[in-house]
């Protein structure tokens, strides 16, 4: 099954993102989260390239699909791999029954501010998209940035780069997390003007703690709307209240996105289920 085929129904898709656990405790937490989110019937799940690199990502992607019955998508990044190595990983994924890939450039190594392509590898995500498309008949998703990629010179150049990925063979886009829907709508309009006509899936991450969200904002460049930031900081001494406010904001985000024709909602779960389950249950009752 290909993810892009699911968009043909015309309904918004629901998906969750997980990462490969580093140890037995992490694996237990992940399996518990997956089990608790099962009643929401996600259309697909994605597995990030973390926790040791591509092999764990492939293993978990195929395991979740084979043993747990979720259509799964593996994250593949240019960072750290030659074309030959990537070809082997793509072959292993395809042969194992994994036909969905999220093609990413990847982040610079820790301590470095700029990305350097691996010798014999790929410099840009659109190169990886074209390579994967030629290797097998994958369904390929790519990343989008409603507030612009942190290293992009301006929004128009960022959308030009997204268009290159779509032209290379990407069939849908999953966005970086964002907290202000106005940014998404502005970006969606810009993408349409650029001729990008594939489904655009909104990336949602419920805020569970002030410290957590400040770290994520520093890493990805997303901004927190001033009223929400002031609310969270006023509640910082009460973790339960912060989490409740974060979940409520995400719920309102999702309702507004659905009312305005979003192609899908993609939850960054951090391998936890409570916040995503609460939002999903509310949305299912609408």
Mean pLDDT of 21-41: 87
DSSP letters along 39-77, please? Answer: GG--SEEEE-S-SSSHHHHHHHHHHHHHHS---EEEEEE
What is the overall mean pLDDT for the chain? 88
Residues classed as catalytic: 17
Q: Which residue has the higher pLDDT, 49 or 62?
A: 62
Domain boundaries, the chain: 3-207+263-274
DSSP per-residue string spanning the chain:
--HHHHGGG-SPEEEEEE---SSHHHHHHHHHHHHHHGGG--SEEEE-S-SSSHHHHHHHHHHHHHHS---EEEEEESTT-BHHHHHHHHHHHHHTT--EEEEE--PPPTT-SS--PPTTB-SSHHHHHHHHHHHS--EEEEEE-TT--TT-SSHHHHHHHHHHHHHHT--EEEEEE-S-HHHHHHHHHHHHHTT--S-EEEEE-----HHHHHHHHHHH-----HHHHHHHHHTTT-HHHHHHHHHHHHHHHHHHHHHTT-SEEEEE-TT--HHHHHHHHHHHT-
pLDDT over threshold 90, residue 119: no
User: For residue 220, how many other CB atoms are within 10 A of its CB?
Assistant: 17
Count how many residues are written for the chain. Answer: 286
pLDDT of 285 over the 50 cut: no
Looking at the predicted structure, is the pLDDT value of residue 249 above 80? yes
- Sign of the torsion angle spanned by Cα atoms 39, 283, 185, 228: negative
Mean per-residue pLDDT for 38-66? 84
Q: What is the CA 21 to chain-centroid distance, rounded?
A: 17
* Cα 201 to Cα 32, 137, 142, 251, distances in angstroms: 25, 21, 10, 16
Please say if the pLDDT value at position 78 is more than 50: yes
* Structure tokens given for 59: 């293993």
Is the pLDDT at 284 greater than 70, yes or no? no
**What is the share, in percent, of the chain residues with pLDDT greater than 70?**
92
Could you tell me which of 79, 220, 84 has the C-alpha nearest to residue 147?
A: 220
State the pLDDT at residue 159.
Answer: 95
What would the pLDDT profile of 136-175 be if each residue is shown by its tens digit?
999 999 999 999 876 666 888 899 999 999 999 999 999 9
For residue 200, the Cα-to-chain-centroid distance in whole angstroms is: 11
Is CATH 3.20.20.220 the right assignment for the domain spanning 3-207+263-274? yes
**Mean pLDDT across the stretch 176-180?**
94
Q: What percent of the chain has pLDDT over 90?
A: 56
pTM: predicted TM-score of the whole model, two decimal places: 0.91
> Which band of pLDDT confidence, cut at 50, 70 and 90, is reported for residue 126?
very high
């Amino acid at each position: 099954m290909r993810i892009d085929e699911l968009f043909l129904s015309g309904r918004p898709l629901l998906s969750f993102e997980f990462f490969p656990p580093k140890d037995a405790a992490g694996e237990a937490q992940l399996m518990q989260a997956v089990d608790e989110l099962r009643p929401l019937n996600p259309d697909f799940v994605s597995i990030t390239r973390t926790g040791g690199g591509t092999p764990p990502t492939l293993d978990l992607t195929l395991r979740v699909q084979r043993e747990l019955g979720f259509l799964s998508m593996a994250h593949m990044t240019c960072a750290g791999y030659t074309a030959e190595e990537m070809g082997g990983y793509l072959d292993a994924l395809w042969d194992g029954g994994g036909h969905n890939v999220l093609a990413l450039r990847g982040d610079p190594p820790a301590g470095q501010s700029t990305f350097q392509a691996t010798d014999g590898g790929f410099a840009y995500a659109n190169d990886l998209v074209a390579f994967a498309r030629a290797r097998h008949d994958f369904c390929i998703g790519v990343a989008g940035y409603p507030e612009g990629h942190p290293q992009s010179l301006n929004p128009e150049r960022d959308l030009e780069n997204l268009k290159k990925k779509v032209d290379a063979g990407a069939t849908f886009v999953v966005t970086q997390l964002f907290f202000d829907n106005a940014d998404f709508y502005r970006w969606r309009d810009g993408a349409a003007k650029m001729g990008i006509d594939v489904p655009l899936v909104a990336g949602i991450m419920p805020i569970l703690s002030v410290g957590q969200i400040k770290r994520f904002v520093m890493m990805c460049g997303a901004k927190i709307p001033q009223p929400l930031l002031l609310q969270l900081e006023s509640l910082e001494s009460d973790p339960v209240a912060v989490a409740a406010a974060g979940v409520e904001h995400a719920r309102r985000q999702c309702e507004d996105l659905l009312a305005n024709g979003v192609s899908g909602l993609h939850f960054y779960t951090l391998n936890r289920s409570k916040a995503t389950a609460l939002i999903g249950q509310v949305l299912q009752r609408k």
